[in-house]
Structure 1
């Protein structure tokens, strides 16, 4: 037990601050849509899913001289389209008629964008993403070892949102008891984070449900080549094709080919899908709008369907306000536990040993 306690303490002292950053940024990102609704015009507009209206907005956006590479369509909680351009970090928000509301060329110009990059990539691209995943693995170890270390002292349990005092003993007791209460939430947050950032770990965890080779094959895009992008593409017809197959599906993302020979993709979300942008796909030839291939997310192998649930669980995209508040509490708890662990390890006051009173000398 002493060795386990030492490992738990040293690991917390070394990476606790990074976990605190992940926890705090995650708690803030849960409320990203609320922030945008409060700060941008038309962000609180009701979602429009009428085929003609969406097609008109898409046509207006893609016919602009600086057309974007893709459009993430407005959702139930955010009444703006997100436009992503091929040049660097350039993006924009547009209202549901296709008019630009605001645009930016660097992530530093939008707080929700750099905060997302901080949480998912630690501002370091793919290397940061892998590092965040490794830290989440260590975080899972903290949850498990923390519960083990709590058990012998369970009779002293006292739930406190803040330590009774900032001595090492006070912080450790609060850390131990708050950690065990939030352990299930932290475990879910860490596990889904690991699965999203470390594909090899995800394959191992999902192997009992579907073989990795089967999952990889099921998610491959079509191999067919498309012609050059026609200026006369009827986006309404593309949307109508998808709607004919899935009448109740929510239109989510439409993307133009990234390179010659690529296809136009249309992504929709069926009502039974948890993923906010869905994984039900349609691919069209950009030369004439002909349907080339489609994929039903609900018919995918079980392992793929479980993988598609990782992000909505991690980011509180299901469960409404109640679950968003629960995951907010999880992120804030991680931020508190991680930051106090680092502070007490490196700079906090030491535990004061109680001095025994000296006995008076015996009378002669």
Structure 2
């Protein structure tokens, strides 16, 4: 038990600040649709293929490889244009631009998202985020084990009684056990989204991980070069005909010649905000090449698709958002105070007497 306590404290002292920042940025991102200030974000939604196609035509008068359009949705009724290099724009549902940027640093929601998911360092940062999530899981488990010894001294406090090391340790121990279920959910879902092998362990009770991986892996299809004026309306009409209950979420242009145009849709029963129902179209002709129905995936794959909405508070309405906010704030408080007490409030070693 002594070694477990030592490992818990030292690991927390090293990585606690990262977890605290992830908790704080996560809280802000849960409510980003509320604090993004752009005109038109509360307009009624337009779903018919002709109107959506006209908006895409205005946003992409000259289609560029690697560009994508995230369509308006409940709570944020603006289309978002994403361009290579971090540039982009918000546009109303008619395709008229209401705000434009040349770098993610011009929009706080974009660089907050990049920090929370990649620590501003791309794939390396994403791996670090996954490791931090696994460390958070370790803290929840070991913290519960260590708390059990002192359970009789439990006292509920939102904040420590004072900023002394003993008071912070007691507060850390007791607040941690209260929010442990929320932290367990946040850390498990966060790490699972980064590390597929860990995710397959999480979903294994619901079905075969091998079948889940096969279903989640995008199919390989090839088409012609990107046309100068793709038939957007025909593609959207085809998609609606195949999945009448689905709404378009992300239209992605090919990154290199031969890649298809992909359209992600969200069916009525999907939790994932951008859906996993995917259609691939020939970039030259607009002909449908393949389609994947997210609701026909194996159960383990469908459970995997639920991890992000659970983690990001994108399901369950305001009540779930509040729970995820509480989880993030608790992680911020526990992580920051753990680092403070470990590095700046450590007990002094007594001098050796003669």
TM, length-normalised to structure 2:
0.94
Q: Which residue of 1 aligns with 2:54?
A: 56
- Which stretches in structure 2 are left out of the alignment for 5+ residues? none
Once the two structures are TM-superposed, the CA of residue 156 in structure 1 deviates from its matched residue by 1.6
Paired residues in the alignment total: 350
Q: Which residue of 1 aligns with 2:9?
A: 9
Q: Which residue of 2 aligns with 1:358?
A: none
Against the structure 1 CA distance between its residues 117 and 72, is the aligned structure 2 distance closer, same or farther, given a 3 Å change threshold? same
- What's the CA shift string for 1:58-108, capped at 9, x where partnerless? 12212157797110001101111111113x111211111111122222221
Counterpart secondary structure, 1:143? helix
| Equivalent position to 2:323, from 303, 323, 326 | 326
TM, length-normalised to structure 1:
0.91
| Equivalent position to 1:111, from 108, 112, 124 | 108
Counterpart secondary structure, 1:22? helix
In structure 1, distance between residues paired with 2:216 and 2:322: 33
**Paired residues of 2:131 and 2:191 also in contact (CA < 8 A):** yes
In structure 2, distance between residues paired with 1:258 and 1:103: 22
Counterpart secondary structure, 1:309? helix
**Paired residues of 2:65 and 2:256 also in contact (CA < 8 A):** no
Q: Which residue of 1 aligns with 2:188?
A: 191
In structure 1, distance between residues paired with 2:229 and 2:298: 37
Q: Which residue of 1 aligns with 2:30?
A: 30
Q: Does 1:131 align with 2:120?
A: no
**Paired residues of 2:222 and 2:258 also in contact (CA < 8 A):** yes
Once the two structures are TM-superposed, the CA of residue 314 in structure 1 deviates from its matched residue by 0.5
In structure 1, distance between residues paired with 2:123 and 2:337: 29
- Which stretches in structure 1 are left out of the alignment for 5+ residues? 354-364
In structure 1, distance between residues paired with 2:253 and 2:64: 13
**Paired residues of 1:62 and 1:68 also in contact (CA < 8 A):** no
**Paired residues of 1:266 and 1:281 also in contact (CA < 8 A):** yes
| Structure 2 counterparts to residues 193-212 of structure 1, below 5 A | 193-212=190-209
In structure 1, distance between residues paired with 2:313 and 2:306: 11
Once the two structures are TM-superposed, the CA of residue 264 in structure 1 deviates from its matched residue by 1.3
- What's the CA shift string for 1:23-47, capped at 9, x where partnerless? 11111110111111xx111122222
**Paired residues of 2:65 and 2:254 also in contact (CA < 8 A):** no
Task: Please provide the CA RMSD for this pair.
Answer: 2.0
Q: Which residue of 2 aligns with 1:274?
A: 271
In structure 2, distance between residues paired with 1:326 and 1:220: 32
In structure 2, distance between residues paired with 1:65 and 1:227: 14
Q: Which residue of 2 aligns with 1:72?
A: 70
Q: Does 1:265 align with 2:243?
A: no
Against the structure 1 CA distance between its residues 80 and 104, is the aligned structure 2 distance closer, same or farther, given a 3 Å change threshold? same
Which runs of structure 1 show a deviation greater than 6 angstroms over 4 or more consecutive aligned residues?
Answer: 65-68
In structure 2, distance between residues paired with 1:342 and 1:230: 55
Q: Which residue of 2 aligns with 1:345?
A: 342
In structure 2, distance between residues paired with 1:307 and 1:210: 11
Once the two structures are TM-superposed, the CA of residue 287 in structure 1 deviates from its matched residue by 2.0
| 44-53 vs 246-255, greater mean Cα deviation | 44-53
